[in-house]
Amino acid sequence: MRRFITSLTGKLVSQLVILALLLPYLSFTLVSRAQAQVQVLPSWAVTEFTNKKSPGTNFGKLAADAVSSELAKTGQYDVQTKETIDRTISGLGLTSPLQGQVNLMRVGQELRASSIVSGEVVDYQVASVAGGRQATVSLRVVVTDVASGLSVNGAALGAQSTIRPGDASDETLITDAINSAANQAVQKIQSQSPLGHDPQHPYRYRPH
């Protein structure tokens, strides 16, 4: 028996037995870690932005889609789909963009989101520049904690589109600027410095 154990075949058999005994525990550990990674992501929902410049146009929806996309790219949030959010808003008898904090919280609670994002397309302009045309957009983004109803993070900024030929449409230029603003807004939200020492709201947002 001792010769078998010390032989190459015996060593291989011993290692296979050990591996067979450890495999269930390794599998359980890997599955548990994977589940923990999925569960740890906070659920965020981005609602249609209010278009302060020209209500009724599509830019509020484009801004929400752009911010949602940028948040998803970070891999740090479980960003709810536009279809789920629209269906929830309709089911509550509400319309987009949501009006008032109460309606915003109702949607956030119904979605079981930890945070709900709203915002405004404050202004946009298209101007002729050297070599073509360019759009400038002012965007305001607010992240609200659903549990407390407090605004805990956000960004207010302006961004420009790339300079395009003179025949580029206003919509193309403004959409480009909105995408740029959304990218910058999400970067700012992520880099927001802690304010105060409130453990429940370490990134308290102070609107400007």
| Confidence at residue 204, expressed as pLDDT on a 0 to 100 scale | 45
Residue 11: which domain range?
Answer: 2-36
Considering only 1-5, 105-109, 132-136, 194-198, which range has the smallest mean pLDDT?
194-198
Residues 20 and 120 in one domain: no
Question: How many structural domains does the chain have?
Answer: 2
Residues 65 and 28 in one domain: no
| Confidence at residue 119, expressed as pLDDT on a 0 to 100 scale | 98
- Which CATH number fits the domain that encloses residue 111? 3.40.50.10610
| Confidence at residue 85, expressed as pLDDT on a 0 to 100 scale | 98
**Mean pLDDT, rounded, of the chain:** 85
Residues 73 and 101 in one domain: yes
Q: What is the mean pLDDT of residues 102-122?
A: 98
| Confidence at residue 192, expressed as pLDDT on a 0 to 100 scale | 87
Q: Determine the Cα–Cα distance for residues 124 and 52; give it in Å rounded to an integer.
A: 10
Residues 18 and 112 in one domain: no
User: Strand ranges (DSSP E) for the chain?
Assistant: 43-46, 50-51, 78-79, 115-129, 132-145, 151-160
pLDDT above 90 coverage of the chain, percent: 70
Residues 56 and 145 in one domain: yes
Residues 24 and 52 in one domain: no
Whether the full predicted model's pTM is greater than 0.85, yes or no, is: no
Within a domain: residue 203?
no
Q: Helices 170-191 & 59-74, crossing angle to 10 degrees? A: 40
| Confidence at residue 205, expressed as pLDDT on a 0 to 100 scale | 46
| Confidence at residue 130, expressed as pLDDT on a 0 to 100 scale | 86
Q: What is the mean pLDDT of residues 166-184?
A: 96
Q: What is the mean pLDDT of residues 65-79?
A: 97
Q: Read off the pLDDT band of 196 (50, 70, 90).
A: very low
In the predicted model, is pLDDT for residue 8 greater than 50? yes
Q: Determine the Cα–Cα distance for residues 201 and 195; give it in Å rounded to an integer.
A: 9
Q: Determine the Cα–Cα distance for residues 129 and 125; give it in Å rounded to an integer.
A: 12
- Between 15 and 2, the higher pLDDT residue: 15
In the predicted model, is pLDDT for residue 165 greater than 50? yes
164 touches 173 (CB < 8 A): yes
Q: Determine the Cα–Cα distance for residues 159 and 184; give it in Å rounded to an integer.
A: 8
Q: Read off the pLDDT band of 207 (50, 70, 90).
A: very low
In the predicted model, is pLDDT for residue 92 greater than 60? yes
